[in-house]
Amino acid sequence: MSISKIICFFFFTLFSCCFVNGQQIGKKIKEIKSAEVICATVDRLGNFFIVSKNNVIKKFDAQGKLMATLKGKNTTLLEPWYHPSIFLYSHVNQKYWIYGRYFENGKEYLLEPSWAIQPTLVCPSNDNKLWLFDAADASIKKVNPITKEVVIEFYTDTLKAKVAPVYTHLREYQNMIFLLDQQSGISVYSHIGKRIYQIDKKGINNFNFFGEELYYLDGTKMKFFDLGTGAIREIEVGVEYKYVLASDESVILISQKNRIFLFENKLPE
């Protein structure tokens, strides 16, 4: 084998994998081109969702096979965690939709005006109710969409904010509520409003869950935050990606140029 072929083989091997402190995340499975990505998330089964700026939502399986597409919906928040339902909220339209697993049989609901003055974010709860963030008074409310009743209401602490907050994600997981402000980080509350954790990090684009951990990108590192102990572990991913997703089968990294890279999941536990 010539020297040039040896060099080419070396670099092919290097860039086909990501490494973590000498440990391999996994072999690259696939690369997908995309329009500009503005949101990325994953469901319990490892299927992942890509929302592009042209109002197209695509659902892929863990190997990167396209499963379904939804077009023409302005998307503020997408939540597919409560499988098989897919929840979509549009702040512009003040509406939310609930779809089947392939975006079939969609049902449209108008948000109740009395719930909030400025309902910036809305997400589902695990008991078929809704969590809502009202940016007008920085309150979080749990509401019953059938009775229209406000079940729980508490206020977030914005007094220490040095710059105007940019709220982009609201989620429920393991009876905790997670609110992402891209200016300050992720606030974690109990279901009755007690602040449990504050992850201080500006510029987080998204976060997700892997077992007992919350994960997000911090520069060139993928960080895992233990929701039980508050301990943090980190993995070097090489360059600064825009979004990261993880499932039992794969790790998905989305580049600043909107390339979607799928790797085998060999994350150290």
- Which structural domain, as residue segments, surrounds residue 56? 26-264
pLDDT at 52: 97
H or E segment at 14? helix 3-15
149 within some domain: yes
54 within some domain: yes
How many domains are contained in the chain?
1
pLDDT at 17: 54
21 within some domain: no
Q: What are the tens digits of pLDDT across the range 116-174?
A: 999 999 999 999 999 999 999 999 999 999 999 999 999 998 766 778 899 999 999 99
DSSP 180: E
Name beta bridge partners: 143: 130, 150
pLDDT at 165: 92
Mean pLDDT, the chain, rounded, equals: 90
1 within some domain: no
Distance CA 29, CA 65 (A): 11
Distance CA 138, CA 259 (A): 35
Structure tokens at 58: 């695509």
**Please, are residues 208 and 41 in contact by the beta-carbon 8 Å criterion?**
yes
pLDDT at 15: 42
Distance CA 119, CA 75 (A): 14
**Please, are residues 98 and 85 in contact by the beta-carbon 8 Å criterion?**
yes
13 within some domain: no
Place of tokens 């695509």: 58
pLDDT at 38: 97
Confidence grade of residue 77 (pLDDT, cut at 50, 70, 90): very high
Distance CA 215, CA 41 (A): 12
pLDDT at 37: 98
Confidence grade of residue 267 (pLDDT, cut at 50, 70, 90): confident
208 within some domain: yes
74 within some domain: yes
7 within some domain: no
Q: What are the tens digits of pLDDT across the range 196-245?
A: 999 999 999 999 999 999 999 999 999 999 999 999 999 999 899 999 99
CATH code at position 194: 2.120.10.30
Distance CA 36, CA 3 (A): 39
Name beta bridge partners: 134: 119, 139
Q: Are strands 139-143 and 130-134 parallel, antiparallel or unpaired?
A: antiparallel
Distance CA 149, CA 18 (A): 49
- Residue 176, pLDDT > 80, answer yes
